[in-house]
Structure 1
Amino acid sequence: MIRVVLAVLLTVALLAAVTPAIDEGRTARTAIHLDRVTDRIERAARSLRAHEDPTRPGVAGARRIVRFRLPARSWTAVGARLWIDGDRNLIGYRLDGGRPHRTTLRDLDLRTPDGPVVFERSARYRLAVSLVRSDGVGVTITRG
């Protein structure tokens, strides 16, 4: 009986010691994933700007499709929210319980015609990134 109690106490102590490291690892892994998503969206926008000709809104033109997954809360990832705000030229995300992380896309006129594009649930998503000429040249991002 004493051995069982000691084994349970040792297990609880080890779990208490390891839990902060697990949480830190989940947070870091999710942040790295979302930093990569942000980078892919920015590279798609800059590639369009550098290599393609803009079209009028509503006219089919060159575009880039960016696919990504917003991870589910699990043993390996924390919950997260991602948004793209054309009014402020930024892409941001927030991890559960954390501060927002924002990336401002300088030298790009980012546009989200229907207001900020927000992703809150864990799922696979697809963004359409296109180059348009309307009040100057801008990069439009919509759900694809």
Structure 2
Amino acid sequence: MELSDVSYADVVVVGRVANYTLILDPEARRRHQELLAKTSGKFHEILKKQSGFMSDYARFDIVVEEVLRGTAPDRLTVTWDNSSFGEPKDMPPGPFLIALRKADTPQPPMRGAAATILPTPEPASLTVLQAPCSGAFLFESTSSTADEIREILQPSPERAP
């Protein structure tokens, strides 16, 4: 993970997670069931173990305690499309430092050899910043990584002439 990728964030907040929900893609599951019905043997056994799909994502609210970049209301609903690693089934409340981007702004460059990048599932919502093939910008607010991100976001002191 390149912490400097936080520069791609439109909004960075510290807040608590509420109403965390996994949004499961029903069409992917339907196609998966159809494929399972047509296969057998080892391939069938492998397919049977699959539980998550790249098109699944999480939606949650952030109860904002502090805004470090951009503007944010006291509470906002965001998405997290963690296609590289899958979203966790549940999420502790935090607090977390979370960097977010708008669907129509550039995302960080790919951090792995190859990636499949799906469109943002809810384009009207902010989404957790995450470079393809890298970790999400979602850290415990008291972690050393969160401290490093705070330092990156600090404006550089102006030099006296």
TM superposition score normalised by structure 1: 0.28
| Greater percentage in strand | 1
TM superposition score normalised by structure 2: 0.26
| Greater percentage in helix | 1
